[in-house]
Amino acid sequence: MVNFFTLLTGYPGASGFGSGTTAEQVTQGIDASNLTAIVTGGSSGIGLETARVLALRNAHVFIAARNMSAANEAKQLILAQNKSARIDILNLDLCSIKSVTECAHHFLSLNLPLNILINNAGIMFCPFQLSEDGVELQFATNHLGHFLFTNLLLNKMKQTAKVTGIQGRIVILSSIAHVHTYPGGIIFDKINDENSYSDKRAYGQSKLANVLHANELSRRLKAEGANVTVNSIHPGLIMTNLMKHSYFLIRFINLLTRLLWKSVPQGAATTCYAALHPSLKGETGKYFVDCNELEPIALAKDEALAKKLWDFSEDLVKSASKLKQIN
């Protein structure tokens, strides 16, 4: 679990970084000018900071977001601070299989390399809703959309790594909330059951799915010898728009636990560390907190559960796609 001493003090761990490290500090001296990256949810919060810092380190960054106006504002904000930044935007609604597919195909049509994929976007603690494809919204947005998006871009990442010799990196944002989920971890037979729905446990379920997805994808890529790593991270407690559905509860918790919360630049540090730092070359299937490896809960390391989730996710995408075609 999280080391509360280092969390409170910001004292660095084995990596040399800690909870007080910012994204700029963790990437200091790194030249990413030969890298192309996609950051989902890069129009605000730690996604925006991640995109800004990757661009600061000279990467070509694509901000993939649902709100194109906000994405363009983010782009202009980055360009205002860094006129040489290479920033583009993509239209991506993760709770729509149609949008995810179109976004991936649009990027592929540009015939650009893809070195880094950061699955950052998400929603949190929302009331029970179904996506347009009929899937519970937190599971659809936080896991299923990213699962499909990653699979659609995976061949491009493997091809890029093979041609350039530069190892590809996939970073999947999870949360310490993966510890608070339904009994058994994933309620496969009740994903869309409103009667058993808990906004907090559903969020934890989706975050557990993020770690399981990263671990299973990592195993598959290693088995085929692909030069692409996959790691999951907990960015920390950060007050962002992600909290909007439980604003007053989160504000109250924030007042009681103020010393545990991070700034946005600190919140983006672990993402940027996993995406760019040379010390993580070849490191895959791991979970990072405060820029240091940490053991997730036992459910997150359950290979059988990860395989079941993978198969379930594939079937869910296929069935939702067929339903969309019928309608």
Active centre residues (catalytic): 197
The two tokens of residue 220 are 């598959």
How far is 37 from 206, CA to CA, in rounded Å? 24
Print the SS3 string covering 145-156: HHHHHHHHHHHH
Centroid of chain to Cα 173: 3
60 forms bridges with which residues in the sheet?
A: 36, 86
Q: Taking a C-beta distance cutoff of 8 angstroms, is the pair 179, 298 a contact?
A: no
How far is 186 from 71, CA to CA, in rounded Å? 32
Q: Taking a C-beta distance cutoff of 8 angstroms, is the pair 146, 313 a contact?
A: no
Q: Taking a C-beta distance cutoff of 8 angstroms, is the pair 191, 139 a contact?
A: yes
How far is 8 from 77, CA to CA, in rounded Å? 32
Q: Is the dihedral of CA 129, 131, 134, 140 positive or negative?
A: negative
Q: Taking a C-beta distance cutoff of 8 angstroms, is the pair 299, 208 a contact?
A: yes
How far is 26 from 23, CA to CA, in rounded Å? 5
The two tokens of residue 106 are 């649009």
